[in-house]
Amino acid sequence: MMNNFKKLSGIAIIMAVAATSSCQQNTGAKNELKNDMVKKSKFLSEPLIKEIYTADPSAHIFNGKIYIYPSHDIESGTPENDNGDHFDMKDYHILSMDSINGKVTDHGVALSVKDIPWAGRQLWAPDVAFKDGTYYLYFPVKDKNDIFRIGVATSKSPAGPFKAEPKPIEGSFSIDPAVFTDTDGSSYMYYGGIWGGQLQRWNNGKYDANGSKTDSGKENEPALTAKVVKLSKNMLGFDEAVKDVVILDAAGKPLLTKDHDRRFFEGAWMHKFNGKYYFTYSTGDTHFLASAIGDSPYGPFKYQGTFMNPVQGWTTHHSIVEVKGKWYIFYHDTQLSNKTHLRNVKVTELRHKDDGTIALIDPINK
Ligand code: FUB
């Protein structure tokens, strides 16, 4: 009996060990599969929210929280063309997070095209600045003549809702406003975009509705470039004549139109690091993010190179912000939809190298 019991318990132990080890093998196999999947994931980072499509994220720290001001992509059914008519967005939603990996809150509609008295269509990439208790939302939208202008709306809360001023900012045109406030409190707007952003249609302060759809034609001339202007003290207008953001190559010459891998296209951003001004932008049809460094918010800026390789999708648009001593880039791709005009915002760390240049980021794992 005793022997039989011993035998039986011996068998039970062997079976338990076998079961445990097969369990361990299963867990091991599952882990390997998981690791393999993680290893093989195509994307460097994941969408911040999946409930709505978002793009062009301008990130800021307000009251110790991260606020993201993106475009709100929708399927409007407008056919795709070189003017970007398929980017037919109708409102903005503001997102916030307590920390980089924290929960993302969607604060709902902050401003609608129907509530902007002068607007026609296409609410594109916005940005926000804060001064003396008021938040200022700067946004590009086509007016009723189908010309992109830049408007401003105000709120007492960083999450909105925002109320638009009755008219666009006087003297404004084109797209993608990005407002940088320097350490002395002065704020500057960087803006502009070629092709659908219409910059090539502005000559001597006048808009040519029949102008070229692209920047081709003057290949050996200095490329069209972003604009920079100091904002007035009340943040509602321009304080001076608009200037060009001059980007110089290593020989001190302005980048040329034919230099599609390096010339400015759209999506300007400014951040200051170690006393230097970093002008960063999208090269558009070649899909890079590039940086140029200067000693003043006005430039000139010396071209440094690509710091982000192309994302999945046609457009590439970003912002750079410091959060608790680390730098991050907010950007978008089309991971959720695989459609050019239905994008999703993401974030990943950005590193300034010892020589001051920005380390190259690859948003797609190879
Ligand atoms: O979202 C519409 C436009 O696409 C933006 O204004 C550009 O920067 C590009 O991302």
Q: Any idea what DSSP says for residue 359? A: P
* Phi, psi torsion values for 121, nearest 5 degrees: -150, 165
Residue nearest to atom 8 of ligand 1 (CA): 267
| 36 plus 144 within the same structural domain | no
Specify the amino acid at residue 148.
F
From the list 73, 127, 215, 266, the catalytic residue is: 266
Q: Report residue 366's pLDDT band, with 50, 70 and 90 as the boundaries.
A: confident
Active-site residue (options: 36, 56, 215, 362): 56
> 364 lies in a domain?
no
Whether 55 and 34 map to the same domain: the answer is no
Is the CB of residue 334 less than 8 Å from the CB of residue 57?
A: no
Nearest CA to ligand 1 atom 2: 124
Mean pLDDT of 78-95: 95
Query: Could you tell me how far CA 268 lies from the centroid of its own chain?
Result: 9
Residue 25: is its pLDDT beyond 50? Answer: no
Q: Are residues 139 and 17 in the same domain?
A: no
Query: Quick one: CA torsion of 202, 343, 46, 271, rounded to 10 degrees?
Result: 20
pLDDT digits (tens, 9 = 90+) for 224-263: 999 999 999 999 999 999 999 999 999 999 999 999 999 9
Q: Tell me whether residue 182 is one of the annotated catalytic residues.
A: no
Q: Is residue 362 part of a domain?
A: no
Specify the pLDDT at position 23. 39
Same domain, 177 and 29: no
Task: Determine phi and psi for 67, rounding to 5 degrees.
Answer: -110, 135
Domain that holds residue 78: 45-350
The tokens for 323 are: 């959060």
Q: How, if at all, do strands 247-248 and 301-308 pair? A: parallel
Mutate to test the pocket of ligand 1, among 56, 74, 346 (most ligand atoms within 8 A of CB): 56
Distance CA 62, CA 295 (A): 26
Ligand 1 near 265 CB (within 6 A): no
* Domain end point (choices 10, 25, 42): 42
Ligand 1 centroid to residue 238 C-alpha, Å: 23
Ligand 1 midpoint to CA 284 (Å)? 10
pLDDT category of residue 204 using cuts at 50, 70 and 90: confident
Give me the pLDDT at residue 354, please.
98
Residue nearest to atom 4 of ligand 1 (CA): 315
Q: For position 82, what pLDDT does the model report?
A: 84
Indicate whether 134 belongs to any domain.
yes
pTM: 0.90
Least confident of 23-37, 76-90, 111-125: 23-37
User: How far away, in angstroms, is 215 Cα from ligand 1 center?
Assistant: 17
The pLDDT value given to residue 3: 35
Residue 152 lies in a domain: yes
Residues 81, 10 share a domain:
no
CB 247 within 8 A of CB 303: yes
Name residue, tokens 């793009």: 55
- What distances in angstroms separate CA 43 from CA 289, 330, 334, 348, one per listed residue? 17, 14, 10, 11
Q: Band of the pLDDT at 31, cuts 50, 70, 90?
A: low
Please check whether residues 264 and 125 belong to one and the same domain: yes
Q: Are residues 17 and 59 in the same domain?
A: no
Q: Where are the alpha helices (DSSP H) in the chain?
A: 2-40
Given a cut of 90, whether residue 36 has pLDDT beyond it is no
Is residue 305's pLDDT more than 80?
Answer: yes
**Mean pLDDT over the full length of the chain:** 91
Cα 275 to averaged position of ligand 1 atoms, centre (Å): 29
Q: Are residues 32 and 51 in the same domain?
A: no
Whether 124 is in the pocket of ligand 1, judged by its Cβ within 6 Å, is yes
Q: Is 106 a catalytic residue?
A: no
Note whether residue 173 is domain-resident: yes
- Confidence bin at 30 (pLDDT 50/70/90): low
pLDDT of residue 336: 98
Q: Does residue 188 sit within a domain?
A: yes
37-73 burial, b at 16+ Cβ within 10 Å, e below that, comes to eeeeeeebbebbbeeebbbbbbbbeeeeebbbbbbbb
Q: Is 215 in the pocket of ligand 1 (CB under 6 A)?
A: no
Residue 78 lies in a domain: yes
* Any domain includes 355: no
Number of domains in the chain: 2
Same domain, 75 and 16: no
Cα 55 to averaged position of ligand 1 atoms, centre (Å): 8
Question: Do both 135 and 246 map to the same domain?
Answer: yes
Same domain, 26 and 160: no
Residues 38 and 51 in one domain: no
Which CATH number covers residue 346? 2.115.10.20
Only one residue has tokens 């899909």, namely: 287
Q: Are 262 and 255 in contact (CB under 8 A)?
A: yes
Q: How far apart are CA 216 and CA 245, in angstroms?
A: 20
